[in-house]
Homo-oligomer: A and B are copies of this chain.
Amino acid sequence: MKKYVIGVDIGGTKVATGIISIRDGKLKKKVVLPTHAKDGFEGSLEQVYESIGKVLQMSGTGKEHIEGIGVCAPGPLNPVKGIVHNPPNLPGWNEVPLASLIRKKFRIKTRLENDANAAGMAEVIWGAARGYKHVLYVTVSTGIGTAIIINGKVFHGKNGMAGEGGHMTINYDDKYGKCNCGNIGCIEALASGPYTIKRLRRKLEKNPGLKTNLIDMVDGRLNDLTMIVLSDAADEGDRLALETIAEEGRLIGIWLGSMINVLDPEIIVIGGGVSLMGDVLFKEIRKTIPTHSINIFADKTPVVQARLKRDVGIFGAASVLLKPSEIAALEKGKKRQK
């Protein structure tokens, strides 16, 4: 019986690769390298190869003990065919048969998953969604991604592209809501980190007299405003900062009301950098959902913060290789990897 799975998390800035024990679900060794995304596809692929090679070497484990390599990357990609289409965050990648390239290089079974789906499965196995079968996982950071988990498995749809809930339109004629995807009024274009900051900056520029500490906190340089500054200001009770986060929560709540209408999940787990905003954000989300859903049980759907922080991508990628029985055993296990 195989003892380990390898998880590779390819992001725009770094490649994080780890080896995980199937028996106890623990991360044994980990390597983080820069993605070298600017060097295009070949440069990044070299980094992926190197990280896998290093992890294998550090672990002292022979290939014969490895069940397989799970890789997650930003979409759009096709998990069934193992092909990365053309992610905005990985310039120069275009229809890359990543799974088969890695498989050939290491002669180990390799499978591909998109990063939101991988993180969602990690929360089901190791995190806040343990024990749930129908899960909506949401990640709010630079963008907004979702994973739809049905009967404990990621739902992929026809072309492996289901679960792009972050590009659901909630305001098709929002004049400031042009999204990176080309559409208008996607929730990503209204409530992701960068768009929240953009909206705030616009408000400050239009209303120079607004009473807030935010401007002093960036020495008057509005371009230096970030979600971290916003969060700090909110912690200090700055009213504009609190209002901005509450408005973000309201928009996410409107959107999740619709997602509940469509999917009626058992639980909603929210991860990603913005989810760390905590109570102000979550309170507003939970308050808004029931008033924007036809589902009479919407107010009973738990909306919780993701539990996994670091390494969620490695765990998620590795999970793609786990068998249902192995997943069930890990879900039941008492020890949780944080």
Q: Are A158 and B266 in contact (CB under 8 A)?
A: yes
What is the chain B residue whose CB lies nearest that of A157?
B264
Given A148-B262, A155-B150, A262-B148, A295–B168 Cβ distance below 8 Å? Answer: no
Q: Are A264 and B160 in contact (CB under 8 A)?
A: yes
Q: Are A296 and B164 in contact (CB under 8 A)?
A: no
Bound CA–CA A251/B168 (angstroms) = 13
The smallest beta-carbon distance between A179 and chain B, in angstroms, is 8
Given A157-B265, A161-B264, A294–B258 Cβ distance below 8 Å? Answer: no
A252-291 interface bits toward B, Cβ cutoff 8 Å, 1 = contact, 0 = none: 0011011101111110000000000000000000000001
Q: Are A167 and B76 in contact (CB under 8 A)?
A: no
Q: Are A257 and B150 in contact (CB under 8 A)?
A: no
List residues 150-166 of chain A with CB under 8 A from any CB of chain B: 150, 155-165
A205 close to chain B: CB less than 8 A = no
Q: Are B297 and A169 in contact (CB under 8 A)?
A: no
Describe A's contact surface by its main secondary structure.
Answer: loop
A224-260 interface bits toward B, Cβ cutoff 8 Å, 1 = contact, 0 = none: 0000000000000000000000000001001101110
A85 close to chain B: CB less than 8 A = yes
Q: Are B296 and A167 in contact (CB under 8 A)?
A: no
Q: Are B169 and A157 in contact (CB under 8 A)?
A: no
What residues on B are CB-neighbors of A159 within 8 Å? Answer: 264, 295-297
A171 close to chain B: CB less than 8 A = yes
Q: Are B254 and A165 in contact (CB under 8 A)?
A: no
Contact with A255, one of B155, B169, B171, B182 (Cβ below 8 angstroms): B169
What residues on B are CB-neighbors of A44 within 8 Å? Answer: none
List residues 138-155 of chain A with CB under 8 A from any CB of chain B: 146, 148, 150, 155
What is the chain B residue whose CB lies nearest that of A132?
B158
What residues on B are CB-neighbors of A169 within 8 Å? Answer: 170, 254-255, 257-258, 292
Q: Are A294 and B85 in contact (CB under 8 A)?
A: no
List residues 181-228 of chain A with CB under 8 A from any CB of chain B: 181-186
Q: Are A172 and B171 in contact (CB under 8 A)?
A: yes
What residues on B are CB-neighbors of A76 within 8 Å? Answer: 294-296
What residues on B are CB-neighbors of A165 within 8 Å? Answer: 261-262
The smallest beta-carbon distance between A99 and chain B, in angstroms, is 18
Q: Are A170 and B172 in contact (CB under 8 A)?
A: yes
What residues on B are CB-neighbors of A30 within 8 Å? Answer: none
Q: Are A291 and B183 in contact (CB under 8 A)?
A: yes
Bound CA–CA A134/B259 (angstroms) = 18
Contact with A293, one of B134, B183, B257, B258 (Cβ below 8 angstroms): B183
Q: List 6 A-B contacts (CB under 8 A).
A: A76-B295, A150-B150, A169-B170, A170-B170, A172-B251, A184-B292
Further 6 A-B residue pairs, CB within 8 A, beyond A162-B264, A167-B293, A171-B171: A76-B295, A76-B296, A150-B150, A159-B296, A162-B262, A170-B170
